[in-house]
Copies of this chain bind each other. A is one copy, B any other.
Amino acid sequence: MGILRLSHVDVTVTDLDLASAYYTEVIGMVLVERTADSVYLKCWDEADHHSLRLTYAPRVGFDLMSFKVERDDDLSQLENAVARYGLPVRRLSRGDSVGQGESIRFETPSGHTMELVHDVRRLGSSLPRVNPQPFLYRPGGDGGLPGIAPPRMDHVLVTAEEVGESTQFYADVLGFRVTEQLLDGHGHQVGTWMERSHSPHDLAVVSGPNGGLHHFAYWLDDWDHVRDAADILAYNGISVDVGPTRHGITRGSTIYFFDPLGTRNEVFTGGYRPDPDFPMITWTEDNAGRAIFYYEGELNDRFMKVHT
């Protein structure tokens, strides 16, 4: 009941062909559909229509983050909850968006356009549902997936001027559960990590301008796939931003890097599996370095300052 997980991230790109080539050839997503101004992509283990939409625009930006709800009822209930909170909610009809039916949209206190959707076209993953092999076979010689080929999208991290207030909205109104928080010296939240899918985070908010996208992340199955991802990124001339390294927060292993147009991507693996009774973890300011990059023990400027 309620939100299940991140459904798709919609970003704008200044070169649709270049972006499309990168997300298919280097990341290894499946190109699902292409319209006049947009490309829709999914990962091989995702059953829904798409998890990434790229739209041409004169500048790189973050259109919206869409989350999938479990039942049709959830949509109405969350619509009411958001309205009660005082935010205007817009309902989109079937046909308004590619690959999905009705949805609701609203601007969150962190200045982001958020979409909730239940009715998503089901394409199925790249594996059969009857007697599937337990991995994606990627032969070198024919039509397998190139690149990193992550099984699925994992989470999105956005920026907000008031992390505490934003988090309260996501938690109280939308039902996100806070797994970890990073506090400044005055005890105010400067970062929060929230989940719905029993993973360390589906959505995180850190201090920054309202409406900003810090990165979206792909799931990988283990640390060896992190190495393989690094190999493939370097082979394709994509320099890493940070990593391979490990987060204190989430315990996850990670690489950050930028797509050719400047949007930050992450590959992520590991971490615990929190149920709703997971006791929230707190990080204090003096441990902020280890919290974010456990191995380096410090943050770098680019990681703190650059977002879209």
Which residues of chain A have a CB within 8 Å of any CB of chain B?
Answer: 1, 4-5, 25, 28, 45, 47, 68, 70, 122, 124, 129-135, 137-147, 149, 151, 197-199, 221-224, 227, 230-235, 237, 239-240, 243-248, 250-253, 255, 270, 272-273, 275-277, 279-284, 287, 290-291, 294-298
Cα distance, A129 to B272, chains bound together (Å): 13
> Is the pair A133, B276 in contact by a Cβ cutoff of 8 Å?
no
Whether B137 and A235, one on each chain, are in contact in the complex, defined by CB atoms closer than 8 angstroms, is yes
* A198 to B131 alpha-carbon distance, docked (Å): 21
Residues of B within 8 A of A122 (CB): 279
Whether the pair A283, B4 counts as a contact (CB closer than 8 A) is no
A273 to B271, CA, bound (A): 13
Asked whether A151 and B296 contact (CB < 8 A) given A234-B133, A248-B131, A251-B135, the answer is: no
Contact partner, A290, options B199, B234, B280, B284, Cβ 8 Å: B234
Residue of B nearest to A141 (CB): B146
Label chain A's interface by main secondary structure. loop
How many copies of the polypeptide does the oligomer hold?
4
Q: What B residues does A137 contact at CB under 8 A?
A: 231-232, 235
A5, B296: Cα distance in complex, Å: 32
- Given the interface pairs A151-B272, A246-B227, A277-B68, the reply to whether A283 lies near B130 with Cβ below 8 Å is yes
Task: Contacts A227-B223, A295-B240 given; indicate if A144 touches B147 (C-beta within 8 A).
Answer: no
Given A223-B227, A227-B223, A232-B137, A245:B244 Cβ within 8 A: yes
Q: Are B134 and A231 in contact (CB under 8 A)?
A: yes
Also in contact, A135 and B199, with CB within 8 A (given A140-B145, A223-B224, A277-B4): no
A232 to B246, CA, bound (A): 12
- Give the residue of B45, B131, B252, B295 whose beta carbon is less than 8 angstroms from that of A283: B131
Q: Give 7 nearest A-B pairs by CB, closest first.
A: A140-B144, A134-B251, A198-B198, A139-B146, A224-B224, A131-B287, A141-B146
Find chain B residues with CB under 8 A from A141 CB.
25, 143-146
